[in-house]
Amino acid sequence: MSSDVTGSFEGSWILQPELSRYQLGLPPRSGIYIVWLGRDGEITIESDWVSASGRRHQIEFSGRIDGHPYPYNSTSIADSLKFELTSTGLLRSSAWLNGRVMMWAERELADDKLLTIHVHGRLSDGSVYTNTDVYRRDIDAEAIVNRGPLEPDH
């Protein structure tokens, strides 16, 4: 894994809903996507969005980018997560349940300013859907993200 390539994903991203394309459901009205890379090689992804119906949603997940599944117990739709960086520079994650891939996402960068995320999911009949979101890097938030977690006052 190249930390330079992985580090390119790090930052705060603002959803461009007019560029979203959904096969299942409707695209969100708005959203923020934040990617953190820890010193220990772990990636953390935070997503906060407002659905087409106006409901606010949040999710956070993390793991090592090494292609190995790790236990995950924050939802009933997955019991493990896996992150990997492909040879073509895609940051891929997958959510597994009972040894079967249920959802997977592929993240790709364009000019370090646009992040496209293709989320694929498996429906109960076994068919697969793809929802695609496009985010623009939030330059104003970069100083905060690059600073990392705040240190407590002593």
Residue spans of the domains in the chain: they are 3-147
pTM of the model: 0.84
pLDDT tens per residue across span 75-132: 888 999 999 998 888 999 999 999 999 999 999 998 889 999 999 999 989 899 999 9
DSSP code per residue over 119-138: EEEE-TTS-EEEEEEEEEE-
d(CA 37, CA 137): 16
Which among 104, 103, 109, 69 is positioned nearest to 88, based on CA atoms?
Answer: 109
Report the largest interatomic distance among the alpha carbons of the chain, rounded to a whole angstrom: 56
> How close are the terminal C-alpha atoms of the chain, in Å?
37
Please name the residue that has the structure tokens 């190995």: 68
Structure confidence by residue, pLDDT tens digits, 58-90 = 999 999 999 999 999 888 889 999 999 988 889
Superfamily of segment(s) 3-147? Calycin beta-barrel core domain (2.40.128.20)
